[in-house]
Amino acid sequence: MKLTVNGQERVLEGVDPDMPLLWGIRDLLGLKGTKFGCGKALCGACTVHLDGQPVRSCQTFLADVGDGKVTTIEAISGPVAEAVKSAWIKKMCPNVATASRVRSCLR
């Protein structure tokens, strides 16, 4: 199965097409920015963009992606992205003092 994530075409061998996109992104591709929240597509923690539209990756299956292009938080850049990341770190990691501890909080 081929998957285009953050502009790079990736091949996932022997993967179940009914696997949620979230686990393909996190477990198979190692991109940990997309988070598991509720597992029911209600909280938005797992949101990624599929062809520019927000989708909940916990309820979107690999087979549903088809030839679509997936964009995760790792590919977002610029001032707006930095503001979002900074606000998330302040909210979710309020006691983090060093860059290495921020990275561990984001896992």
Tens digits of residue pLDDT in 2-33: 999 999 999 999 999 999 999 999 999 999 98
* Count of C-beta atoms within a 10 Å radius of residue 19: 16
pLDDT in tens, 29-88: 999 989 999 999 998 889 999 999 999 999 999 999 999 999 998 898 889 888 877 887
Task: Identify the three-state secondary structure at position 22.
Answer: helix
- DSSP, collapsed to helix, strand or coil, labels residue 3 as strand
pTM exceeding 0.85: no
Give the separation between CA 43 and CA 64, rounded to whole angstroms.
20
Which one is predicted more confidently, 96 or 50?
50
Order of strands, sheet of 8-11, starting from the edge strand that comes earlier in the sequence: 8-11, 2-5, 69-71, 47-50, 53-56
Residue 89: its pLDDT value, please? 73
Please report, as a single letter, which amino acid is at residue 61: F
